[in-house]
Amino acid sequence: MNTYNAPLRDMRFVLHEVFDAPALWARLPALEERVDADTANAILEEAAKVTGQLIAPLNRSGDEEGARWHAGTVTTPSGFKEAYATYIEGGWVGLSGNPDHDGMGMPKMLAVQVEEMLYAANTSFALYSTLSSGACLAIDAHASADLRATYLPPMYAGRWAGSMCLTEPHAGTDLGLLRTRAEPQAGGGYRISGSKIFITGGEQDLTENIIHLVLAKLPDAAPGAKGISLFLVPKVLVNADGSLGARNALSCGAIEHKMGIKASATCVMNFDGATGYLIGEANKGMAAMFTMMNYERLSIGIQGIGCAEGSYQAAIRYARERLQSRAPGGAVAIDKAADPIIVHPDVRRMLLGMKALTEGGRAFACYVGQQLDLARFAEDPGERQRSGALAALLTPVAKAFFTDTGLESCVNGQQVFGGHGYIREWGQEQYVRDVRIAQIYEGTNGIQALDLLGRKVVADGGAALRLFCAEALAFADGCNLPYSRELVAALDRLLAVSDWLMDSARTNPNELGAASVEYLHLFGYVAYAYMWARMAAVASTRRNEDPVFHDAKLATAAFYFQRLLPRTLGLEASIRAGSATLFGLAEDQF
């Protein structure tokens, strides 16, 4: 019963009014002739049509039918193959790809908006192309010129797909334990042998080839993660002229039967002496793979935003139509037997929470995209370095906070429906099931929290953190803006807690792990406060241009600062309580 309509007005607000992306693109030589406001708007409008009219209608049917495996072959649900063929005609897989290899070269600030539409419309469908985009990024950054020329154009065109083969049954977070082996061949290339699990899109019927990026160890590799190399392993071997040759020695042994994203094939992949090609340097595979992983972590974070937006749209429609009881202050719909449930305070609390978190996430995703664009395209080395540091700092926040709050929003959307939210035909239970995986794959959110606190804050003494906070403080101190005082207080809290943790960790190694999840949430709420302060500042100066939209933005900002940002007080108290209570039980007392 659900439909999806991309929130184009809000996306344009974030891109053009809050971040003035066209002005940024105009000062970056690599982008100035490639994209402007009109181009961005045209792309957003076309993406809205594709996702709303072509992809979203397959969401429920794809979930009910699921991907199917038979004798090593995977079949996607009815309609997926035809929709994918139409989708790739628009060049969407290569939207932000390198133009030197037939990508469109669009900035990440724009691409994150399109990815949100994809995930909101149909998460399972979205995963087939977003994995390809990430694989292309790793190939473009680390592979040889010959590999780039051979593989990138058909991957950007969507005729070939990509996958990421990391996990093994015994090696998940600790990839240093992996057993997949790569044997050098006399004529060049390698023979890859081993099994990988949880491989999204490892086998499917949408494309004529699948390019697997596989982590493996050479015979003389050092133990642990330092001995891992990255290999490109095509499903179908590619001839010298670019045509397809024989099937490679690999196969899909099974697909997983999952809680959600059922139309996405999650595969067990077996490599039986498959031909592969080294990407980057030997024993430097983790660095190369993390180029893809960091892209995917932001992308999977956006899955949280997209699912939350889809759930919100459905909840709003239902809350306006469902009649139950009268408003506390008296009848509103006098001509009806009861009032629509949107009049009730608790329903409004849930809806406003969804709206504030989703719109805050959309702005923050665009902000992270801005840092990635500057790190890639800025002419000034100092600006590139600064933005690269911010992007590295904020990526784990984006992945984990987007998905944690995304699940919260989808659960609230389901709750708005009451009993109907638990029934399949209304669609809300699917959003809850589909968004849940986003907290787990591409590095669990607990690992993201450890990465943020240990590797991104403590490791550099808080230098990158202070870059971010200094920028937000400069904004708050610049003039008399809405919520400046609240933003400054939140930033001060984040900095004080960070300093306390860094001091505590010097004498107690358990403190970082004990506080990491609460710390990431604290960081996330403060980052959203910065976004909402920026959005409120713009809305307050442009109220006369579009009063309905901008007044709604100001009202949502007020809700965020008064009802959601205070969560940081409890998070601070939990962090400062320390790690001792986590170790108060012996193992046999659990």
Among positive and negative, which fits the CA dihedral 35, 402, 52, 97? positive
The type of residue at 549 is F
> Which one has a higher pLDDT value, 172 or 119?
119
Q: What is the mean pLDDT of the chain?
A: 96
Helix, strand, coil fractions of the chain, as percent rounded to 5:
60, 15, 25
**pLDDT the model gives residue 294:** 75
Q: Counting Cβ atoms within 10 Å, is residue 267 exposed (0-12), middle (13-18) or buried (19+)?
A: buried
* Calpha distance 571→316 (Å, rounded): 30
At residue 446 the predicted structure's pLDDT band, cuts being 50, 70 and 90, is very high
Joined together, the tokens standing for residue 496 give 């004080």
**Is 139 within 8 Å of 279 (Cβ atoms)?**
yes
Rounded to an integer, the average pLDDT of 433-445 is 96
What is the model's pLDDT at position 360? 98
- For the chain, give the percent of residues with pLDDT over 90: 93
Active site residues: 442
Give tens-digit pLDDT for 87-115. Answer: 999 999 999 999 999 999 999 999 999 99
Determine the angle formed by the axes of helices 567-576 and 484-505, rounding to 10 degrees.
Answer: 10
The two three-digit tokens of residue 497, written as one number: 């807690």
Domain ranges of the chain: 444-580
Going by pLDDT thresholds of 50, 70 and 90, the confidence category of residue 254 is: very high
pLDDT in tens, 410-421: 999 999 999 999
CB 90 within 8 A of CB 102: no
Residue 31's pLDDT is: 97
- Tell whether the model's pLDDT for residue 4 goes beyond 70: yes
Q: What is the pLDDT of residue 172?
A: 67
Contact by Cβ (8 Å): 329, 533: no
pLDDT digits (tens, 9 = 90+) for 120-151: 999 999 999 999 999 999 999 999 999 999 99
pLDDT recorded at residue 1: 55
For position 473, what pLDDT does the model report?
96
Tokens of 355: 């709206």
Contacts of 474 (CB under 8 A, 6+ apart): none
Which residue has tokens 């540091």? 389
pLDDT of 365 above 90: yes
Q: How far apart are CA 196 and CA 210, in angstroms?
A: 15
Task: Give the pLDDT mean for 148-166.
Answer: 97
Q: 283 with 229: CB under 8 angstroms?
A: yes
pLDDT at 2: 67
- Give the pLDDT of residue 582: 95
| First and final C-alpha spacing in the chain | 45
Give me the pLDDT at residue 340, please. 97
Q: What is the structure's pLDDT at 236?
A: 98
Residue 29 to residue 34: CA distance in whole angstroms: 9
